[in-house]
Amino acid sequence: MENIPKGWLEKAISEGHINYIDYDKFTDPIEIGIGGFGKVSKYEWRDSELTVALKSLKVDTNIDERIIKDFINERPGK
Ligand SMILES: Nc1ncnc2c1ncn2[C@@H]1O[C@H](COP(=O)(O)OP(=O)(O)OP(=O)(O)O)[C@@H](O)[C@H]1O
């Protein structure tokens, strides 16, 4: 399996391909499901007054870069 290049995610964030939001901006988690990538929970997004669903990506040292890219490219309803 291909390993994730070190700093790949940090680079994508610094180049503006991915929006980074501090996790502490999300409160009141309620687990609502489990998908192909991992757990999905409902949160309240502080400052925006939106209720959102956050997906967690289960990462271990053997995770393939392709899985991370698929996760990042996923869109609602896909
Ligand atoms: N926006 C959402 N609102 C409400 N529930 C959601 C939302 N997104 C996901 N869920 C819940 O979480 C579960 C898992 O969602 P998720 O999209 O991760 O899995 P999936 O449909 O199996 O596909 P995938 O293989 O892409 O992970 C869904 O079946 C649903 O119950």
- State ipTM: 0.86
Ligand 1, atom 21, residue with closest C-alpha: 35
Check whether 1 has a pLDDT greater than 50: no
As a dihedral over the C-alpha atoms of residue 27, residue 75, residue 69, residue 1, rounded to 10 degrees, the angle is 100
Tell me how many domains the chain contains.
Answer: 1
Q: Within a domain: residue 17?
A: yes
- What pTM does this model have? 0.76
Ligand 1 site, residue 55, Cβ cutoff 6 A: yes
Ligand 1, atom 11, residue with closest C-alpha: 33
Q: Is 54:40 a contact under the CB 8 Å cutoff?
A: yes
Residue 75 is predicted with a pLDDT of 67
Q: Within a domain: residue 56?
A: yes
Q: Within a domain: residue 2?
A: no
Q: Within a domain: residue 47?
A: yes
Residue 35 is predicted with a pLDDT of 85
Q: Within a domain: residue 1?
A: no
Q: Within a domain: residue 78?
A: no
Structure tokens at 40: 């999905």
Ligand 1 site, residue 32, Cβ cutoff 6 A: yes
Q: Within a domain: residue 13?
A: yes
Q: Which amino acid is at 46?
A: R
Q: Within a domain: residue 53?
A: yes
Q: Is 58:38 a contact under the CB 8 Å cutoff?
A: yes
Domain encompassing residue 53: 8-73
